């Protein structure tokens, strides 16, 4: 039997509900006041304070309230005047509006779309082009990243010509700026869940991407995005030529095959396969000299189905003379053994994980 609520409980619940209603009413009043100051004020100082207040009010509330406040500010019409402030020559106005836009866009699809519709991309691209202020450039990169997560925004952002600017930031930005640039490029390069490329970053992206991959944990989500971008760029002849000239370029991919997550490993072996398939006479020795065999042999046993297939195909290309027909098991084992000893100098490698390779070629 459920106990009836006592009069004390009724009193508490009513008091609690009244407090919530009062808090909501107070927040709505504050949102209206801040929005009014931003939209109707004639002087830039008042607008700057209002933009800062938007960021503060969102930032200082918990996640559930954050989303509600973001939506209410969007409905109040603050996005258009904030976008106009992005074009201001006043540094404080630009920074305050950038921070407000970032906070409004975070986790709010409708605001993201409205920000782009209101014309935010051109002034953001202008900020990315400027080398005068690192802070504004980094904030603009973060804004492009946030807005690029909305599928409907991607083509507008791509058409703005932002891709080369993001590639520049990979080389000269702050650590956070470079991380945001990688993620923004990844968002713009992937148009759907199947990860079909929509753009191909310039080959100039290869050296900084390799440096970032060297510095990060190979099994991280960031490594997965970085290796995906490398894989896309290597579809171009210029990209392949660039990575061959990049210090530790191929070595870093080989290390990722050995130490990466399933996804980053798959991207890395795909990149190596693209290299060797495009011009075996050039890239075969480069790949072999970086000790690729052990990681590829492991991948034939422990990778995803697609990863295993690519590793086997690459192992075929790395042989002295890929046979046109399947040889006997002793021939296959001897070829794998010779390659492993030549590259690694270790008999243990030659005796490791060869059964899969032999069975495949003799079955």
pLDDT tens, residue by residue, 134-175: 999 999 999 999 999 999 999 999 999 999 999 999 998 899
Confidence of residue 133 (pLDDT cuts 50, 70, 90): confident
Question: What does the pLDDT look like over 210-238, one tens digit per residue?
Answer: 999 999 999 999 999 999 999 999 999 99
In a domain, 78, yes or no: yes
Is pLDDT of 64 > 60?
yes
CA distance 213 to 220: 10
Say what the pLDDT of residue 2 is. Answer: 41
Cα distances (angstroms) measured from residue 263 to each of 146, 179, 230, 353: 23, 19, 13, 21
Domain assignment present for 115: yes
Averaged over 290-295, what is the pLDDT?
A: 94
Residue 190: what are its φ and ψ, rounded to 5°? -100, 120
Q: Are 238 and 197 in contact (CB under 8 A)?
A: no
Q: Tell me the residue range of the domain where 69 lies.
A: 26-119
Please report, for the domain that includes residue 57, its CATH number. 1.25.10.10
Q: Going by C-beta distance under 8 Å and a sequence separation of 6 or more, which residues neighbour residue 218?
A: 255, 256, 258, 259, 260, 261, 264
- Segment 12-29 shows an average pLDDT of 64
How many residues are there in the chain? Answer: 363
Per the structure, the count of domains in the chain is 1
Of 297, 284, 216, 215, nearest to 250 (Cα)?
284
* Radius of gyration for the chain, computed over Cα atoms and rounded to the nearest angstrom: 28
- Single out the residue of 329, 332, 318, 313 nearest to residue 289, CA to CA: 318
For residue range 270-287, list pLDDT tens digits in order: 999 999 999 999 999 999
Residue 138 CB coordination number (10 Å): 22
Please indicate, yes or no, if residue 71 is contained in any of the structural domains.
Answer: yes
CB atoms within 10 A of CB 106: 16
The dihedral region occupied by 291, where left means phi > 0, alpha psi between -120 and 50, and beta the remainder, is left
323 pLDDT tier (thresholds 50, 70, 90) = very low
Residue 58 resides in a domain:
yes
pLDDT beyond 90 at 354: no
Q: Which of 20-24, 163-167, 340-344 has the lowest mean pLDDT?
A: 340-344
What is the pLDDT, as a whole number, of residue 328?
44
Mean pLDDT of 251-256: 98
- Reported as a single tens digit per residue, the pLDDT across 182-205 is 999 999 998 654 555 578 899 999
Q: Is residue 85 part of a domain?
A: yes
Does a structural domain hold residue 230? no
Whole-angstrom distance, CA of residue 140 vs CA of residue 59: 19
| pLDDT value of residue 14 | 54
**Mean of pLDDT values over 333-350:** 51
Is the pLDDT at 113 greater than 80? The verdict is yes
DSSP-based helix, strand, coil % in the chain, nearest 5: 75, 0, 25
Structural contact between residues 22 and 41, judged by C-beta atoms closer than 8 angstroms: no
Across the chain, mean pLDDT equals 85
Q: How far apart are the first and last CA of the chain?
A: 71
DSSP type of residue 192: S
C-alpha distances in angstroms, 272 versus 45, 249, 267, 287? 56, 11, 9, 8
pLDDT at residue 22, as a whole number: 64
């Amino acid at each position: 039997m459920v106990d009836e609520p006592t009069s004390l409980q009724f009193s508490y619940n009513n008091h609690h509900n009244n407090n919530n209603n009062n808090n909501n009413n107070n927040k709505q009043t504050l949102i209206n006041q801040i929005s009014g100051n931003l939209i109707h004020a004639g002087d830039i100082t008042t607008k700057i304070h209002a933009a800062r207040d938007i960021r503060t009010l969102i930032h200082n509330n918990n996640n559930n309230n954050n989303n509600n406040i973001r939506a209410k500010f969007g409905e109040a019409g603050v996005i258009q005047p904030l976008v106009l402030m992005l074009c201001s020559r006043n540094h404080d106005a630009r920074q305050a509006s950038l921070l407000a836009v970032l906070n409004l866009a975070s986790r709010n699809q409708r605001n993201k779309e409205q920000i782009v519709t209101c014309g935010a991309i051109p002034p953001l691209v202008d900020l990315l082009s400027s080398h005068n202020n690192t802070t504004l450039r980094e904030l603009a990169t973060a804004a492009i990243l946030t807005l690029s997560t909305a599928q409907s925004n991607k083509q507008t952002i791509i058409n703005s010509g932002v891709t080369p600017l993001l590639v520049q930031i990979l080389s000269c930005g702050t650590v956070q700026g470079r991380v945001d640039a990688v993620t923004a490029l990844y968002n713009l390069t992937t148009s759907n869940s199947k990860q079909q490329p929509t753009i191909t970053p310039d080959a100039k992206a290869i050296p900084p991407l390799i440096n970032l991959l060297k510095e990060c944990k190979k099994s991280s989500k960031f490594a997965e995005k970085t290796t995906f971008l490398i894989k896309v760029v290597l579809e171009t002849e210029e990209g392949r030529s660039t990575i061959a000239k990049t210090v530790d370029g191929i070595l870093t991919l080989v290390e990722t095959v050995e130490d990466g997550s399933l996804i980053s490993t798959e991207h890395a072996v795909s990149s190596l396969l693209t290299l060797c398939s495009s011009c075996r006479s050039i890239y075969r020795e480069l790949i072999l000299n970086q000790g690729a065999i052990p990681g590829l042999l492991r991948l034939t046993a422990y990778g995803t189905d697609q990863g295993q297939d690519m590793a086997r195909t690459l192992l075929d290309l790395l042989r002295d003379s890929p046979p046109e027909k399947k040889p006997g098991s002793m021939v296959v084992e001897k070829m794998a053994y010779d390659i492993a000893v030549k590259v690694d100098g270790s008999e243990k490698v030659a005796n490791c994980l060869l059964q899969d390779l032999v069975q495949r070629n003799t079955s």
